[in-house]
Amino acid sequence: MQSPLFRLVRLFMAALVLGFAMVQPAAAQSILRDSETELLFKDVSKPLIQAAGLDPKSVDIVLLGDPEINAFVATGQIVYIHSGLLVAADNVNQLQGVIAHELGHVAGGHAIRMQEGVGEATGITLATLVLGALAIAAGAPDAGMAVMMAGQRAALGQFLAFTRTQEASADQAGAKYLMAAGISGKGSLEFFKKLQNQEYRLAIYAKDSYDRTHPISGERIAALEKLYENDPAWSTPSDPRLEERFQRVKAKLIGFVDPKQAVIKYPESDNSLQAHYARAYAYHLGAYPDKALRETETLLAARPGDPFFLELKGQILLESGRPADAIAPLREAVKAAPDQPLIAAMLGHALISTEKKEYFPEAKGILKAAVNRDNQNPFAWYQLGIIYDNEGDQPRAALATAERENLEGNPRLAMVSAEQAMRGIAPGTPDYLRAQDISMVARTELRKIDKKFDREEKKRDEQQ
């Protein structure tokens, strides 16, 4: 049994860790994959990534399905953009301002250095816990509690000051990248003003940044305003082609994540391209395939051969139970955009869904090319597994399953499937080595899970 003093110390340590966890981003949200969106992110971020001295091939901008207006970086060179932020942005320049700021975190190694802030704060906490425990042991429980609470407060304050410093640094770095790329900072300031309005609506009336992970928006605007206004690019307009692409992506996203809101924001009286796009997605998700197809035909009449409009037509037909009809527009989309593996994977899906064996060789070639270009698509691996299973190639069907389970975060199933594949594939071949890699990664992950489970079991035993 633990003493009351020991349990108290554990309680304060847990509270401190919880406080830290609350101010750090989590990547538990679902990733939204879309060819057109990913291509837009790549094109709008490339000059900023280069200005940051980073390699555009090594930095990814990823869209998460989360309505919160937020963006963050985690370990590695990945910028996560919430769908809520993309919906809230008015123009492509605002999106570029956000990306520039997040690249400041990437270039500054802030996700890695976060542990420095945790370490400094933990040191303060441990010292005050010891002092508080001594006071309690000496017969002064009230004084001991006060010391502990003050220590926790000081530790959290230390950590929040650390994160605010990182945010201010990222603001300055983002401004540097925008100016180096010849991109106006107007969008950056406009988006900070959006955040400022949100603070007002949420009744956040703080006059300074104390007790906050980020500087308040007013402070950030004041620090950047003159810098941007004196930049030669201040009055430079955004590329109209990028702006149109942004509005298209935003409209389709609204149609996808909130169909009811989409038909309100883009009523049928609105005949703009983005309005037809939003309604096409909204009607499709609302199970009105005929209306969705009419909107898509209007889009194709305006832009014949557009690969993303063709992709949407194929998707509507495929997901409405008409896979044979989906093949023609999807083939045309793949021809128009041969470097988009997500579209190719959808074509492979349509070919398989017809259940006509004569289509399977074509589907196999398309899907293998798709996963070679982008192996992060679990559904493409699932479809490829169907092909291998149909061919009687069970080892490679198992390997495809291992790839899918690995991507979906199921290490136990990934390990079992990978080892099944290894039993039927010749040692030393590329497929064997890939199965071996998946098995080793899965085993490592399972050991981490087991150790975590053991620690939690030990904690529960100690608390009893």
How far is Cα 78 from Cα 367, in angstroms, rounded to an integer?
26
Strand 30-31 with 78-82, pairing: unpaired
Report which of 348, 427, 435 is spatially closest to residue 398, judged by C-alpha positions. 435
Domain boundary among 229, 253, 276: 229
Contact 95, 89 (CB under 8 A): yes
Q: Which residues lie across from 30 on neighbouring strands?
A: 65
- Residue where one domain finishes, among candidates 229, 261, 283: 229
Q: Give the length of the chain.
A: 464
Digit-coded pLDDT (tens) for 272-311: 999 999 999 999 999 999 999 999 999 999 999 999 999 9
Establish if 369 belongs to a structural domain. no
Q: What count of other Cβ atoms lies within 10 Å of the Cβ of residue 285?
A: 17
Does the residue 448 lie in any domain?
Answer: yes
Would 23 be classed as within a structural domain?
Answer: yes
Q: Distance (Å, rounded) from C-alpha 19 to C-alpha 213? A: 11
Model pLDDT, residue 223: 79
Q: pLDDT exceeding 70 applies to what percent of the chain?
A: 75
- Report yes or no on 49 lying in a domain: yes
The last residue of a domain, from among 196, 229, 262: 229
- Directed axis angle between helix 273-285 and helix 240-257, to 10°? 20
Range in 128-137, 222-231, 426-435 with the lowest mean pLDDT: 128-137
Per residue in 111-155, pLDDT (tens digit) is: 554 455 444 444 444 444 454 455 455 555 655 455 445 555 544
**Which has the higher per-residue pLDDT, 228 or 401?**
401
What does the DSSP assignment read for 210-271?
Answer: TT-SS--HHHHHHHHHHHHHTSTTTTPPPPHHHHHHHHHHHHHHHHHH-HHHHHHHS-TT--
Average pLDDT over residues 172-183: 94
Task: Indicate which CATH number applies to the domain containing 58.
Answer: 3.30.2010.10
Contact 93, 242 (CB under 8 A): no
pTM above 0.85, yes or no: no
**Angle between helices 92-107 and 35-51 in degrees, nearest 10:** 60
pLDDT at 220: 79
Report the mean per-residue pLDDT for the chain.
83
Listing from the earlier edge strand, what are the strands of the sheet with 60-65? 30-31, 60-65, 78-82, 71-73
Q: Tell me, yes or no, whether 71 lies in a domain.
A: yes
Q: Is residue 426 part of a domain?
A: yes
pLDDT number for residue 363? 97
- Domain-embedded: residue 371: no
For residue 207, the 8-state DSSP code is S
Q: How many other C-beta atoms lie within 10 A of the C-beta of residue 63? A: 23
Phi-psi group of 167: left, alpha or beta (phi > 0 → left; psi -120 to 50 → alpha; rest → beta): alpha
List, for residues 39-85, the tens digit of each pLDDT value. Answer: 999 999 999 999 999 999 999 999 999 999 999 987 778 999 999 99
Q: How far apart are CA 300 and CA 310, in angstroms?
A: 7
Sign of the CA dihedral 184, 189, 190, 195?
positive
Parent domain of 18:
4-229
pLDDT, mean of residues 8-37: 53
Domain count, the chain: 2
Domain contains 134: yes
